[in-house]
């Protein structure tokens, strides 16, 4: 297991500065992380900082609440790809999912995927707000909409990834090609290793340097 290749090195805080984003990118280059994950405004900056590297850029869309109108999410995703993003991490509309408006949620995911084409789409569930049944429904909607990944959390809710949620999500999408990203509260080597052993394909964390330099 090459731990660094699982990590989306992440900085999404509201008070992140230009210098902080540059530092994030420098750390990604130093430690050969798979990707950096940034808010949409900073995609172009990350693209310039990571030029001539193979480090991917993931951009969050509809972040962190998921309550943005669908057209705005589609436009934001389109602009992120134009600015140099390789992957989009989309927060689904949590309130509509909980309201039972499943078709609208699925169509929104599908619209973003259609806009970004072959680029990777990760759908963020924010599991801390969902029942187990709602998590299963979110898995199926993401599958139906053509998403490439399902993701546990934004890191801005009341809770992050849990082993139980990873098991639930894996069981629900078993037999498909969809992958899983664990994020939220993953700050040490032991926790990151646990999730990888459970079968996740990517780790979203702001503690990537700490994780890969731990003994």
CATH assignment of the domain containing 130: 3.20.20.70
Query: Could you tell me the residue range of the domain that residue 74 belongs to?
Result: 3-212
CA distances from 208 to 17, 90, 183, 202 (A): 19, 21, 12, 12
End-to-end CA distance of the chain: 15
pLDDT of residue 152: 98
pLDDT class of 181 with cuts at 50, 70, 90? very high
User: Does 1 score more than 90 pLDDT?
Assistant: no
User: Does 160 score more than 70 pLDDT?
Assistant: yes
Active-site residues, by number, are 89, 151, 181
Q: Read off the pLDDT of each residue in 116-145 and give the average, rounded to a whole number.
A: 98
Q: In the structure encoding, which two tokens stand for residue 16, read together?
A: 């992140």
Q: Which of 1, 2, 12 is nearest to 43 (CA)?
A: 12
pLDDT of residue 98: 98
Distance CA 25, CA 49 (A): 6
Q: In the structure encoding, which two tokens stand for residue 178, read together?
A: 């969809």
pLDDT of residue 176: 97
Asked which of 3-12, 99-108, 150-159, 206-215 is least confident by mean pLDDT, the reply is 206-215
Rounded to 10 degrees, the C-alpha dihedral 206/92/168/113 comes to -90
User: Does 76 score more than 90 pLDDT?
Assistant: yes
User: Does 215 score more than 80 pLDDT?
Assistant: no
Contact 125, 135 (CB under 8 A): yes
Q: In the structure encoding, which two tokens stand for residue 3, read together?
A: 């731990």
Distance CA 202, CA 179 (A): 8
Number of domains in the chain: 1
Residues paired with 61 in a beta bridge:
90
Residue 183 neighbours by CB under 8 Å, 6+ apart: 8, 10, 124, 151, 152, 153, 154, 155, 160, 161, 203, 204, 205
């Amino acid at each position: 297991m090459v731990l660094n290749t699982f990590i989306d090195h992440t900085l999404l805080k509201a008070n992140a500065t230009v210098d902080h984003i540059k530092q994030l990118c420098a750390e990604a280059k130093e430690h050969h992380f798979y990707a950096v994950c940034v808010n949409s405004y900073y995609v172009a900056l990350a693209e310039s900082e990571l030029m001539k590297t193979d480090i991917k850029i993931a951009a969050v869309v509809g972040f962190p609440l998921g309550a943005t109108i669908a057209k705005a999410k589609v436009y934001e995703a389109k602009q992120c790809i134009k600015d140099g993003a390789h992957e989009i991490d989309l927060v689904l509309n949590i309130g509509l999912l909980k309201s039972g408006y499943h078709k609208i949620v699925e169509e929104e995911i599908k619209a973003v995927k259609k806009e970004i084409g072959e680029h990777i789409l990760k759908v963020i569930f924010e599991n801390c707000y969902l029942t187990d049944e709602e998590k299963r429904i979110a898995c199926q909607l993401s599958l139906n909409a053509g998403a490439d990944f399902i993701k546990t959390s934004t890191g801005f809710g009341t809770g992050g990834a849990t082993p139980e949620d990873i098991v639930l999500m894996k069981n629900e999408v078993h037999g498909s090609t969809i992958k899983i990203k664990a994020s939220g509260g993953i700050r040490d080597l032991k926790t990151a290793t646990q999730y990888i052993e459970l079968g996740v394909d990517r780790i979203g964390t702001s503690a990537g340097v700490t994780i890969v330099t731990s003994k």
